Amino acid sequence: MEIGAKVYYEKSTGNVAHFIGERFGKVSETTKEQDFASYVALANRVPDSIGMIQLTYGSHYGDYEAGGIVTQVDLETKEPLFTYPKSVDPETPEPRPALSEQVGSLGGQMAEIKLQDIENQTVINSLGGELAVVRMQSIQQQQTITSLGAELAIAKLEIIQLKGGEP
């Protein structure tokens, strides 16, 4: 059997009162009452002031591997907040959401950026086609201007000849 970690936390602050790690093998689920009777950190607490979340087995494996320790629970989302060694990201205040959730969020942002890039490329391609049409029109207009210039020169010659002058 595989049992995910349990996080007991103070309902008023979200601070972790006791963390029971993941278990597997010949283990069985325990109730809140059994945990309060078994663990000194819980036995000294008022049960009504303590909340508990049960994590899915293996759900935060990468966070634990990175040295993450659940130190708080977000009171709104009931998600664990981790503290990591300073080498992970000294710029981010701690505790913070699990790195695995941050990576998932970044993956979603990357997908949005890629979609936006595809849309931008489509617009660029469309503008490229429009630019080719404008260039073609410009070439045609230049040819028309050249042709009209030649016709004007011929007309001037004819006028000069009609007036009795020589070209």
pLDDT of residue 9: 96
pLDDT of residue 79: 92
Give, as one character, the DSSP assignment of residue 163: T
pLDDT of residue 57: 93
Query: Which H helix or E strand runs over 42?
Result: helix 40-43
Query: Which H helix or E strand runs over 124?
Result: helix 99-162
Beta 96-97 vs 80-83: how paired, if at all? antiparallel
- 93 torsion bin: left (phi>0), alpha (psi -120 to 50), beta (else): beta
Domain ranges, ordered by start, for the chain: 2-97, 99-167
pLDDT of residue 139: 85
Q: Are 56 and 24 in contact (CB under 8 A)?
A: no
pLDDT, tens only, 88-143: 555 655 666 666 666 666 677 777 777 787 787 877 777 877 888 888 888 888 88
Q: Which residue has the higher pLDDT, 47 or 146?
A: 47
pLDDT, tens only, 27-73: 999 999 999 999 999 998 999 999 999 999 988 888 888 888 899 99
pLDDT of residue 129: 79
Radius of gyration for the chain, computed over Cα atoms and rounded to the nearest angstrom: 38
Q: What are phi and psi of 53, to 5 degrees?
A: -120, 145
Return the structure tokens found at 108.
């979603």
Banded pLDDT at 74 (limits 50, 70, 90): very high
Q: Which residue has the higher pLDDT, 145 or 88?
A: 145
> What is the model's pTM?
0.55
pLDDT, tens only, 3-17: 999 999 999 999 999
Q: Which of 93, 49, 87, 90 is nearest to 71 (CA)?
A: 93
pLDDT of residue 24: 92
pLDDT of residue 160: 82
pLDDT of residue 167: 59
